[in-house]
Amino acid sequence: MNIVIIFGGSSFEHEISIVSTITLKKVLKSQNLDFVFVDANRDMYHIDADNLKSSYFSSGDYKKSKRVYIQKGGFYTLGLMGSKKSLDCDVVLNLIHGRDGEDGKIASLMEFYSISYIGPRVEASAISYSKILTKLYAKSVGIEVLPYEVLYKKGTKEIKTKRPFIIKPVHLGSSIGVSIVKDGDDLNYALDVAFEFDDTVIIEPFIEGISEYNLAGCKSSVWELSIVEEPHKDEFLDFDKKYMDFSRDNSINEASIDNVLKNRMIEAFEKIYSDMFEGSIIRCDFFVIDDKIYLNEINPIPGSMANYLFKDFENMIERLAKVLPKERNITIDYKYIHSIQSAKGKA
């Protein structure tokens, strides 16, 4: 199978996307891979596999690579004789974290140009990109979420949630801009940090020693679910720890939980994934409080695609690629316009 991995993007998580792609190159050993890098200006470059090293991008050397453009059915280069298709592509794997990849822009491009892709569809992107919409969606399918309030950069800074609480930018992942507020001296700094990355932040109660679990998966012809991971963390999994996680390509041990809790978590995951996230591999992060399951976040494009949680990740990619949802074909026959013209006696 010919897979094009698209990565980078105009995002605060740009560098994490590079790390994820380098990792997947090592994981997808038996696939024919090509790599399309989207830089900060949203220019696209076809990156040779031998150049897939972090320094190639940080140095700006990637600009020596061939520019490519998205057109109908795939990726093209421009020459004196016009454009020509430059990459054999059965499926695109969207590996752009954050803005561009998770907010629906890449999904829109893929669908507009009729390119098969693994990743969240447009509606799923919109829901999972916003922590506010994620909570509303979870509640709509019967999954509990922590209580929360929303603050806007230009709005009032009155907070009703009791301390300690956690402040998160609404549209970022990877724990970027996240802070725990325990006393008055922490608040202004925490808000400044969060608003540096986003104009909207969400406030949630911070619960010491909370049990947290990660479960990833997709639906091909059957449900394909990972093991349940219990991430090891201090107060919360900060950016540095998550950054290191994104480079993982080795499997981990399953969380020590009983089958009853595991099955309830699987049921919650399947309700969230449902039809909404068809065509994507997502990871759900859950809290467990007093034996009740709460959704923390939906990761529609998890770091390194959470490959380390699966026992058969490479073959799962192939199985998913065979059942990707397709846009409905709409036939335009101008029947309405023709009927109006006929009624007016025009040809």
Report pLDDT for 216: 98
Digitized pLDDT (tens) for each residue of the chain, 347 residues in all: 999 999 999 999 999 999 999 999 999 998 999 999 999 999 999 999 999 999 999 999 999 999 999 999 999 999 878 889 999 999 999 999 999 999 999 999 999 999 999 999 999 999 999 999 999 999 999 999 999 999 999 988 889 999 999 999 999 887 889 999 997 778 999 999 999 999 999 999 999 889 999 999 999 999 999 999 998 766 555 545 554 555 566 667 899 999 999 999 999 999 999 999 999 999 999 999 999 999 999 999 999 999 999 999 999 999 999 999 999 899 999 999 999 988 877 65
Burial 92-122 (b: 16+ CB within 10 A, else e): bbbbbbbbbbbbbbbbebbbeeebbbbbbbe
CA-atom Rg of the chain in angstroms? 22
Report pLDDT for 250: 65
Domains of the chain by residue range: 2-118, 127-144+210-321, 149-205
Domain 2-118 is in which class?
Answer: alpha beta
Report pLDDT for 300: 97
Determine the CATH number of domain 127-144+210-321.
3.30.470.20
Cβ neighbourhood burial of 7 (10 Å; 0-12, 13-18, 19+): buried
| Nearest in space to 35 (alpha carbons), one of 67, 72, 4 | 4
End-to-end Cα distance, the chain: 50
Q: What CATH number matches the domain at 149-205, 3.60.15.30, 3.30.1490.20, 3.40.47.10, 1.10.540.10?
A: 3.30.1490.20
- What amino acid is encoded at 159 in this protein? I
Report pLDDT for 52: 97
Kindly give, in sequence order, each residue whose CB lies less than 8 Å from that of residue 68, ignoring residues fewer than 6 positions away. Answer: 36, 44, 45, 46, 75, 76, 77, 86, 87
Report pLDDT for 82: 82
Q: Which two tokens stand for residue 114?
A: 């009729």
